Amino acid sequence: MNTLTAKLIAAGTLFLFTLISGVIVSHSGGPLSVALVTVHKLIAVATVVLFGMAVNQLVKTGDAKVLVDLSVVAFAGVLFVSLVVTGALLTREMQLPEAILKVHQVAPLLALVASTASIYLLAGGKS
């Protein structure tokens, strides 16, 4: 197994753990447990870092100069940033619009689709 495959498998696994830990945090009730939120955030950061490393490796090794490929990667990046921002807002002890929670609930699925599409487009049939 090459390093790119290992990074992608690790990022996918961490993404799954991020989703699971997010569900645990959301069902833990209030006030939020600092330990649970911290574990969730650390797993999420590790996921984004590994995904970024894999995309960087694919861009360096492949012909990823196509605008569509890079737009999908940028869209996935924006989704990951929106998850970080909305997650940070949700941990604050203040009344927030319901839209913040909805974005944080929907963005992981969109990020999964966009990141999968990014890897598929950038890999372009390479083994």
> Is pLDDT at 104 greater than 70 in this prediction?
yes
Residue 60, Cβ neighbours under 10 Å: how many? Answer: 8
Q: CB-hemisphere CA count at 13 Å for 62?
A: 22
Question: pLDDT of 58-91, one tens digit each?
Answer: 777 765 555 667 788 889 889 988 988 998 888 8
Q: Which pLDDT score, from 0 to 100, does residue 60 have? A: 77
Q: Give DSSP secondary structure letters for 93-106.
A: SS---HHHHHHHHH
Average pLDDT, the chain: 83
> CA 87 to CA 22: how far, in whole Å?
10
Q: Which residue has the tokens 């689709």?
A: 113
**Domain extent listing, the chain:** 3-123
Which residues make Cβ contacts (< 8 Å) with residue 64, sequence separation at least 6?
A: 58, 70, 121, 122
pTM: 0.73
Does the pLDDT of residue 40 top 60, yes or no?
A: yes
